[in-house]
Amino acid sequence: MKTYNIAAIPADGIGVEVIAAGIEVLDVLAEKNGSFSFKFDHFDWGSDYYKKHGVMMPADGRDQIRNHDAIFFGAVGAPDVPDHITLWGLRLAICQPFDQYANVRPTRILPGITSPLRHVSGPELDWVIVRENSEGEYAGVGGRVHQGHPNEVATDVSMMTRSGVDRIIRFAFKLAQSRPRKLLTVVTKSNAQRHAMVMWDEIAAEVAADFPDVTWDKMLVDAMTMRMTMKPQTLDTIVATNLHADILSDLAAALAGSLGIAPTANLNPERTYPSMFEPIHGSAFDITGKGIANPIATFWTACQMLEHLGEKPAADRLMRAVERVTADPSLHTPDLGGNATTRQVTDAVIAAINGDNE
């Protein structure tokens, strides 16, 4: 029997609650499936670790997880630690050195969930956003001098490379090609950002030539927010830079009903390093410890992890279970307008897995 070694890093806030729920569900799923199992190694890295040790993870942290089959990540962020420390110290400290350059964010309206968009009931909104996850606006290039003085200067330089843009655009075309509509929208801002974004557009046009069966178009990021809201049915696969996709995917999550549902995969497609799977949401201080965090985003990212591991039937089984549960409003957590708890949703998904006989 195959055993997958998973590095579990729940980190902060509700990350701890949803990852615990995710592990429980994955173990039940493996047992139901019968052909594989999981071995979870737990790492207590995060803001509490930082308060004790002055770092978010140990110096050899990446070495401890680099041979795992995947990383199952909660969320970072604490009210009393600056966000740039928690983010750069853990999440980006894993994503960037492990070259998880393709950030994949599926968005659709699950059964039973109401979109804030008046005319959208489900099939009109079925997207995958591909976010460039290794460079661009979050390359970390820049600096700050004369701090606190009137002549203080600060820069964040968006850095794009031909190889970095080529690989993400190519990844997006391939993904679009694998989906029934074979439709890709390349998000840009080449009217105002006249260097890197112009190169981005040029590379998109070059790569498109290798995918003649994919229909593609280009959209300025500001206009994209309108199109997502007004004409969601005209979109399918979307590729955008690190910053643009960061923002657009929060909008996508909201349009699909709640941030508590939205999953993401940080992929190293070449598999040189492990990939990382996480809910999009943060540590949610406002609901931490209340037992009401929506675990659906984590279950959905667990499906992405299963697919990445090559366990597509198990991924499908988990997604069916999730959809059976979201279809029942009495099992909605408060972010979806209900009053179910994390425990109740988790139990219901486990029951649905066990009752699934497809």
Could you say which of ligand NAI, Mg ion, none residue 91 binds, taking C-beta under 5 to 8 angstroms by partner kind? ligand NAI
Residue 282 in contact with ligand NAI, rule: CB under 6 A: yes
Residue 110 in contact with ligand NAI, rule: CB under 6 A: no
Stretch that binds ligand NAI, among 73-81, 123-131, 154-162, 211-219 (CB under 6 A): 73-81
Shortest CB 312 distance to ligand NAI, Å? 25
Of 69 and 335, the one with the shorter C-beta distance to ligand NAI is 335
User: Which one of residues 167, 174, 281, 308 is an interface residue with ligand NAI (CB under 6 A)?
Assistant: 281
What gap in Å lies between CA 38 and CA 4, rounded to an integer? 5
Shortest CB 64 distance to ligand NAI, Å? 19
Shortest CB 264 distance to ligand NAI, Å? 8
Residues 307 to 326 in contact with ligand NAI, rule: CB under 6 A: none
Residue 284 in contact with ligand NAI, rule: CB under 6 A: yes
What residues contact residue 243 under an 8 Å CB cut-off, 6+ apart?
A: 136, 137, 138, 158
User: Which one of residues 41, 44, 83, 217 is an interface residue with ligand NAI (CB under 6 A)?
Assistant: 83
What residues contact residue 239 under an 8 Å CB cut-off, 6+ apart?
A: 129, 130, 132, 168, 169, 171, 172, 184, 185, 186, 187, 245
User: Which one of residues 188, 242, 266, 283 is an interface residue with ligand NAI (CB under 6 A)?
Assistant: 283
Shortest CB 78 distance to ligand NAI, Å? 6
What gap in Å lies between CA 191 and CA 342, rounded to an integer? 45
Residue 278 in contact with Mg ion, rule: CB under 5 A: no
User: Which one of residues 115, 335, 338, 350 is an interface residue with ligand NAI (CB under 6 A)?
Assistant: 335
Residue 260 in contact with ligand NAI, rule: CB under 6 A: yes
User: Which one of residues 12, 69, 99, 246 is an interface residue with Mg ion (CB under 5 A)?
Assistant: 246
Residues that bind Mg ion (CB under 5 A): 246
